[in-house]
Amino acid sequence: MKISLKAARVNAGLTQSDVARYLKKNKQTIVNWETGKTPIDMGNFTALCGLYKISKDFIFLPKKFA
Position 9, amino acid: R
Is position 63 within any domain?
Answer: no
Q: Whose CA is closest to 35, among 64, 55, 58?
A: 64
Is position 60 within any domain?
Answer: no
Those residues with Cβ within 8 angstroms of residue 60's Cβ, 6 or more apart along the chain or in another chain: 2, 3, 4, 66
CATH of the domain at 30: 1.10.260.40
Is position 37 within any domain?
Answer: yes
The total number of structural domains in the chain stands at 1
Range of the domain at 40: 5-54
Q: For 5-41, how does the pLDDT look when each residue is reduced to its tens digit (9 = 90+)?
A: 999 999 999 999 999 999 999 999 999 999 999 999 9
pTM above 0.85, yes or no: yes
Handedness of CA 12, 5, 45, 32 (dihedral sign): negative
